[in-house]
Amino acid sequence: MDITIHIPTLPFPPIFIPIGIVVVMNLALAYRTWIGNKRHPTNIFFALTALMAALWTVGVSSFQQPQFQLLNGILVRICYLAASLIALFFFLFSYHLGRPIFTLKRWHILTLVISAIVISVIIIAPNVFLAWPVPPDRYLKPEISVFWHIVFAIYFTTVMLLAFYVLFLKSRRLDGFWKKRAKQCFIATAVAFIGGTIFNLYFSLIKDNSLGWVGPIFTIFMVAYIWYHIFWVPGRIPESCRQRR
């Protein structure tokens, strides 16, 4: 007698499960950071960074579904827009963490904002940097301009490295509580930055986005590290033993 075993199939690609988990984790980090101090720039800008990481992860899902041309055209733009805003918000977070160690002049801010706007326009514009809509045969390679891909890579990498440089300086120059915080933030975000840059920026530039889902996985370390070292551990330390902010 033949026995037939029916294995239930998911109505979506299995890779969406880890992608969904990463989205939820980053949203939780954004919310937890924001409610910690809703008015402080440090909390606001890091919450926005985590929120953009969640949106970036949502955009990455476009590389897993070739059949939806219009939707992929939207999602892939969300992916790159979120990445550009991650760089902007993360730099502003690094500047405000603890206390500023230098003064952001007006032209510095204008340069950051204008460059972010220009990059955003390039990303949104149809058939400039990204295809619109994304044809099924290009869902793993929606970028249609190597030149603009390189421009985006330079922008993103430069702003992020500047932010990490600021965090590094703060881990050296600040004292006590904020010195420790700068080191913790540097470690947590560096892992996510390296993983995302390798798999979602330079691998896609050299080849395609077939491994684009790997990059967001690295943010799991960021969320777990920050949640443990910044949110959970301080809550277990008696108030009298905590370092003053």
Q: Is 211 exposed, middle or buried (0-12, 13-18, 19+ CB in 10 A)?
A: middle
pLDDT of residue 118: 96
| pTM for the predicted model, two decimal places | 0.88
Encode burial over 9-22: b for 16+ CB neighbours within 10 A, e otherwise.
eeeeeeebeebeeb
pLDDT of residue 235: 56
Q: Which of 157, 45, 145 is closest to 100 using CA atoms?
A: 45
3-state DSSP assignment of residue 126: strand
Separation of alpha carbons 16 and 225, rounded Å: 23
Contact yes or no for 116/88 (Cβ under 8 A): yes
pLDDT of residue 4: 56
pLDDT of residue 9: 65
Radius of gyration of the chain (CA): 20
Going from the N-terminus, what domains does the chain have, and what CATH number goes with each?
A: 16-233 (1.20.1070.10)
pLDDT of residue 241: 41
Contact yes or no for 131/73 (Cβ under 8 A): yes
Cis peptide before 13 (omega within 30 of 0): no
Contact yes or no for 33/46 (Cβ under 8 A): yes
Mean pLDDT by 10 residues, the chain (245 residues): 56 77 96 93 96 94 75 90 96 93 89 94 94 83 91 96 96 89 95 94 88 92 94 62 44
